[in-house]
């Protein structure tokens, strides 16, 4: 093999920009930009992002989380500065007035109760002051957070920093919400995952808070440590063959996650008044197993290692995040009128494609 000719500055800039979402100051924002040359063969930024989606997306999301944390600190500093200016005092004086002065020392009884829960051989008299200082610090942190929250509520704050994105085809995933909704939330999840279960109310709330604006698609990603998850996913698809995918989906998430054995799945089908013979045949034959495994492989290729994982018009959000996190991305997408998934997905696989029986359930 001939010598490797790598254009190092371009390659590093492309990697950093792709993985971490940093503005490409050294490169034009052009996916055809060459980032390396191997034996005369050019590697473009587009090829790099397409073939290394998994590791780049994961790295980009971790960097995004660090950015958000830093941004929150910066916003806190800014609102403190503005409020201190309004009151004509320094930031230190502002915090003393609104936070420090309200911190109360714990009573001796409270200190003794805390001491009883501490594993130490030292006498109470020796550690009393340290316990008091620790509790004061915790109370100060809580009051500071509440004060900062109140300051943020007074100001107009718009956060436009968004998570990294990836092209995710809708495929035959079942969908809730109108086909014309501008925001598509694709969730990769596992029916035995407690964090997925935790997110269900937030997803329902999105549909309620943004009627006609949001639709939600579900893709199976059964984790290896959850032995019943794959069969549960098949069962939901079997129910979908009879037009009750979402009804069965809801039953699975409202049931005991340790009770998803096949007999219970069949009992759930009976509760929903499905054709039991047809459902049992579908489940026992594993007819929908290839579909479940296909979405699992798809998610793995995207770099997903745990559930839940969300793609909001392609924007990646991982884990059991709070409602505000999902909401902020949805609001940005609505405001931007962004149709990335429809515009960039491969032909016949974007959100505009006609859905087969699964997607209609």
Residue 345 region by backbone torsions, left for phi larger than 0, else alpha for psi between -120 and 50, else beta: beta
pLDDT band at 4 (very low <50, low <70, confident <90, very high): very low
Looking at domain 175-344, its CATH architecture is: 3-Layer(aba) Sandwich (3.40)
Q: CA end-to-end span of the chain, whole Å?
A: 53
pTM score of the predicted model: 0.72
| Residue 7 tokens, joined | 């254009």
Q: How confident is the model at residue 357 (pLDDT cuts 50, 70, 90)?
A: very low
Q: What is the pLDDT of residues 159-186, one digit of tens each?
A: 888 888 888 999 999 999 999 999 999 9
So where are the chain's domains? 4-51, 56-154, 175-344
Q: What is the pLDDT of residue 350?
A: 37
Ordered DSSP codes for 320-343: S--HHHHHHHHHHHHHHT--HHHH
Task: Dump strand ranges (E) for the chain.
Answer: 4-5, 34-38, 41-44, 175-176, 183-189, 214-220, 309-312, 315-318
């Amino acid at each position: 093999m001939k010598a490797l000719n790598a254009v190092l500055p371009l390659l590093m800039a492309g990697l950093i920009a792709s993985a971490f979402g940093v503005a490409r100051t050294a490169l034009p924002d052009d996916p055809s930009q060459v980032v390396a040359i191997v034996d005369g063969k050019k590697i473009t930024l587009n090829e790099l992002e397409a073939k290394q989606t998994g590791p780049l997306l994961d790295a980009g999301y971790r960097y995004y989380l660090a950015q958000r944390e830093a941004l929150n600190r910066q916003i806190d500093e800014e609102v403190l500065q503005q409020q201190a200016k309004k009151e004509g005092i320094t930031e230190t004086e502002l915090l003393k007035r609104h936070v420090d002065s309200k911190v109360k020392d714990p009573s001796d009884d409270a200190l003794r109760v805390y001491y009883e829960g501490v594993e130490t051989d030292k006498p109470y008299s020796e550690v009393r002051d340290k316990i008091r200082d620790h509790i004061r610090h915790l109370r100060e942190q809580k009051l500071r957070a509440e004060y900062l929250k109140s300051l943020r509520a007074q100001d107009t704050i718009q956060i436009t920093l968004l998570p990294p994105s990836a092209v995710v085809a809708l495929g035959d995933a079942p969908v809730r919400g109108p086909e014309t909704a501008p925001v598509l939330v694709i969730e990769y999840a596992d029916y035995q995952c407690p964090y997925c279960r935790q997110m269900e109310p937030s997803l329902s709330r999105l549909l309620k808070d943004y009627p006609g604006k949001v639709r939600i698609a579900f893709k199976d990603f059964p984790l290896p440590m959850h032995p019943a998850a794959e069969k549960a996913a098949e069962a939901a698809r079997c129910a979908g063959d009879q037009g009750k995918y979402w009804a069965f989906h809801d039953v699975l998430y409202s049931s005991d996650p340790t009770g998803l054995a096949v007999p219970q799945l069949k009992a759930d089908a009976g509760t929903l008044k499905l054709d039991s013979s047809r459902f049992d045949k579908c489940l026992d034959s594993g007819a929908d197993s290839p579909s479940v495994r296909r979405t699992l492989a798809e998610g793995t290729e995207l770099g997903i290692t745990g559930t839940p994982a969300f793609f909001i018009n392609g924007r990646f959000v991982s884990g059991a995040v709070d409602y505000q996190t999902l909401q902020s991305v949805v609001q940005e997408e609505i405001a931007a009128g962004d149709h990335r998934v429809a515009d960039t997905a491969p032909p016949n696989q974007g959100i505009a494609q006609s859905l087969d029986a699964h997607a209609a359930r």
